[in-house]
Structure 1
Amino acid sequence: MMTRLPRWVEVGGFCLAAIAGAVNAVGLLGFKHQAVSHLTGTSSLLGAAVAGDDLLTAGHLLLILLSFVAGAVLSGALIGNAALQLGHRYGVALLIEAALLFAAMHVLTHGSATGHFLASAACGLQNGMASTYSGATIRTTHLSGMFTDIGNMIGWRLRGHPFDRRRAVLYTLLIVGFIAGGTIGALAFAHLQFRALALPACGAIALAVVYWSYRQRRPHAT
């Protein structure tokens, strides 16, 4: 059971989820209804494209999948540890994510589908940044696991086991953050089109600056 939840985990998780929610909203509205923050729907679309002998679409979707994996590979190379802990190079990863999103915005506004791959890589990079905290599985770019875990926790409570309130708070913050980011992303896309990706990109930069500032003030925090 999670015994404590530091404020930096709450704030960081919420902000990361909001960034991913905004990117995914732009993807759903502008990338032919393709999600980029997670791969379940994209994998299903890939299977449908293969079944329909639509090799051009299948190739495009496959590249989106591979781009997400490439982003996660980069995250693993930069951070090198699945456990969420201060001291890792999260700030560098966030700046790279922002650069990928700005690059995606630039090429998409000029009509290039390469932006789909760049946005997917940015999400893969972010999702690989934090995998676990105090035994809880953390994913900031999709929500299926969060809803599943909350449902399991409620089921365990019905069987008489203690309810992990700290973990429930963390998951709720991630869910609310993702939905809030999706709302902001959708509203921004209605006015800015693909330039709306500048919002999550700037959010990633701001979060990197906050992280570095916090590390300087709390060098021994964990």
Structure 2
Amino acid sequence: MFRHRGKNRTFRHNLRLASNLSLVAGIVNSVGVLAISTLTTNVTGHFAYFSEELITGQFTKAIPFILYILFFFLGAFVSNSFIEIAIINKKKYIHTTPMFLEIFLLVLAGFWNDWNFKVGENTNQIAYILLFSMGLQNALVTKISQSTVRTTHLTGLFTDLGIEISQYFFYRNHPNTVNLKKNIFLKLSIIVFFFAGCISGTLLFYQIGTKTLLVAATLITIALTMNNLIFYYTFTRRKFRRKKNEQRSTTRHNLKDNR
């Protein structure tokens, strides 16, 4: 689900990518709200808060909100920079660096209390880390899926879903109906898994606090591991088939020569 790009990418690849990482985003979203009362998967609301503090002359209070926006942007910038460098150097694993960086950041935020910090006194720092990690994830997913999948926020998703469901009612007999159904199913899957992430994240937060983020990091690790296992299994099977076909063709040639 991470490796394939362009024409080699299928609906299944996007569905796996969407379900895994939207679940992670849902968990991060719930932990951000419950632990530090801050939105950490999107920046839309932060623009409103920044504008309010700016207009009322509370410039010191306005600074964190513009930094929230900046850190999400920086996450997206860094993520795509790593991807572009990997593409230029013709690396097979363009997703590896952004994903490992996201795992590291989630683990760092998950153990925040164990670093002798108190959540109430360091909410901005945790918010910066989580917003940066979600910027990383959103840029990676957008790049790999060619803007088909977005996992960290649902506003644009519900807009697209509303448009596509409306189109389905008007163009049921259109040749592109199959693709339209797939797009609708993909977006519904993202919504369901994001919601599942929010629910599970909330339940876990009341049990283990910010260490819930370790679960999100584990899910990414599992996704990367499964992706590698599937790739090597497919690669090995193709290699085995190729050898088998070569052996068959060699046997046929030998039989012909003997005749």
Structure 2 length-normalised TM: 0.74
Query: Does the CA-based 8 Å contact 2:33-2:39 persist in structure 1?
Result: yes
Paired residue for 2:47?
A: 43
Q: How far did 1:203 drift?
A: 1.3
Paired residue for 2:142?
A: 131
Q: How far did 1:133 drift?
A: 7.2
Q: How far did 1:31 drift?
A: 1.7
Q: What secondary structure does 2:78 align onto?
A: helix
Considering fraction of residues, name the structure with more helix: 2
Tell me if 1:58 matches 2:62: yes
CA–CA distance in structure 1, aligned partners of residues 146 and 98 of structure 2: 23
Unaligned runs of 5+ in 1: 82-86
Structure 1 length-normalised TM: 0.85
Tell me if 1:190 matches 2:244: no
Q: Report the CA distance shift for 1:53/1:30 in structure 2 as closer, same or farther (over 3 A).
A: farther
Of the three residues 141, 159, 162, the one matched with 2:152 is 141
Paired residue for 1:17?
A: 22
Paired residue for 1:117?
A: 128
Structure having the higher Rg: 2
Deviation larger for 39-48 or 50-59: 50-59
Structure 2 residue identity aligned to 1:57? K
Tell me if 1:76 matches 2:80: yes
CA–CA distance in structure 1, aligned partners of residues 193 and 142 of structure 2: 17
CA–CA distance in structure 2, aligned partners of residues 29 and 176 of structure 1: 20
CA–CA distance in structure 2, aligned partners of residues 190 and 172 of structure 1: 28
The count of corresponding residues between Structure 1 and Structure 2 is 214
Q: How far did 1:168 drift?
A: 1.0
CA–CA distance in structure 1, aligned partners of residues 195 and 214 of structure 2: 18
Q: What secondary structure does 2:195 align onto?
A: helix
Tell me if 1:96 matches 2:101: yes
CA–CA distance in structure 2, aligned partners of residues 73 and 219 of structure 1: 32
Tell me if 1:211 matches 2:222: no
CA–CA distance in structure 2, aligned partners of residues 187 and 20 of structure 1: 15
CA–CA distance in structure 2, aligned partners of residues 126 and 197 of structure 1: 14
Paired residue for 2:35?
A: 30
Query: Does the CA-based 8 Å contact 1:92-1:208 persist in structure 2?
Result: no
State percent identity of aligned pairs. 25
Q: Report the CA distance shift for 1:167/1:133 in structure 2 as closer, same or farther (over 3 A).
A: farther
Q: How far did 1:219 drift?
A: 4.8
Structure 2 residue identity aligned to 1:60? P
Q: How far did 1:214 drift?
A: 2.5
Unaligned runs of 5+ in 2: 1-8, 86-91, 239-259
